Structure 1
Amino acid sequence: MDHKKECRIYTLTEKAFGGFISGSHVYPESELDLYYDFHGFYLLPIESDGKWGLMNGATDEIVVPLQFDYTETLFDDYIAGHAVKNGLHGYINAQGQTVVPFAYEDAKDQPSSNGYFAVKRGKWGVINGKNEPILHFVYDRIDLDGCFDLTAGWFTFYGGISAIQDGQVTLFDRYGEILEDHLTAHPRGYSTNPSRYGEYMILQRKRKFGVICRDGRLITNVTMLKREAVRLIQKLEGAC
């Protein structure tokens, strides 16, 4: 008879509940707690005796053995997920193999859609899957596939990389090339239809403004008045 071990399971709804492990199978306290995890391929974090691994929420099978200090949920559209081993951060794939070495003091939860990873060595930088630098380690904050406004407290989709250094924002395209730097505010979404999530964002450098598309294409440099930037978005959306 297999030895049974108590465990904790962490779901997509950020709820943690108990269960036990027997062999490679997890027996949750209640299958109802895993209801939302049946509808897609997700590997859920599972912890027992201080060691973490990943399980398939639909089959209750352990797919990544419990050998880490910590693991994040691994989604089917990401090539790897964040994990911690021996106190250091890295990334693993769905088979538990190391994608980015466990050599960093911190790491973002998920990589970008382009296979970039934001990691920290005193300052934040970005590497690719070969552990080669894409952005140097000089930034106070980095967001992959999005922008985060520290003053407003919101996160918005952007199909590139945004970075903060000394209070100023730099926007990169999906290949790590600078689009605009020394921005004095985070990009702000704008749409002619308040009920719709607009495709464009307004950029600002002091009293000058520009427009960028959420997919990471620069529409115009930051050389315009604000009303001109708004007017351009209205034209792009066909509102005038």
Structure 2
Amino acid sequence: MRLFLGCFLFLSFFKGFSQGNEFSIDTLHIKIDSLYREDQFYSGVIYNSLLNQPADFSQNKISFGFSLGFLRDMPVNKSRTVAIAPGIGFAYNNYIQNLSITGTNQNPIYAIIPSKVNYDRNKFEQLLVEMPIEFRWRTSTPEIYKFWRIYGGFKLSYLLMDKSVYEDDQTKVKIKNNKDFNDLLYGAYISTGYNTINLYAYYGLNSLFKSTAKINNETIELQTLSIGLQFYIL
């Protein structure tokens, strides 16, 4: 009788434990299905080209950039395949070209370096805080982590720091916080791909320089076109 009673209690406990586990798994599945979000963090590597170039302007070597930030994914339909995602992040952009910037940060002087002039280095670089907002479409589900996506958006960028460097055999000029750089930049972008790796393109809608920046009394109106890869992480 004691053996029969012990077996009965053991089987009752095992059955209850199994039922408890099954209930917890179902509950967890429902919670994930109702609350999941996609692509909360992003990073990117890009090549920067410059448009609206003044006469005899040219880029040489690779002008690169990278970015890192966070986006708040907010699905707007029941299947969660469409979403809006505002965010914030940081970007670094480097431009290697033949537009020299000399003088001082309050009185910069711009000139195109003639092709016959030998120089060691000429570039300007910027550190910005980004404020993107994305409109998202994807083929994701709670169970599928590899999916197609098309994300398009608009981005505001605020200039935190800038530096230009010109160096040759006899001269080295370094300027920080140039008053002629635009503090606020804005543009449109698109990112599309499958799984982690996505093609990315950004078009700057305003000039890197204010109207006070001139060469031979002509305003410098350089705009950015960036192409590269964008990576998204949950």
Do the two structures share a fold, i.e. TM-score over 0.5?
no
- Using CA pairs under 8 Å that are at least 6 residues apart, name the structure with larger relative contact order, 1 or 2: 2
Calculate the TM-score normalised by the size of structure 2.
0.24
The structure that is helix-richer by fraction is 2
Q: TM-score, normalised by structure 1?
A: 0.23
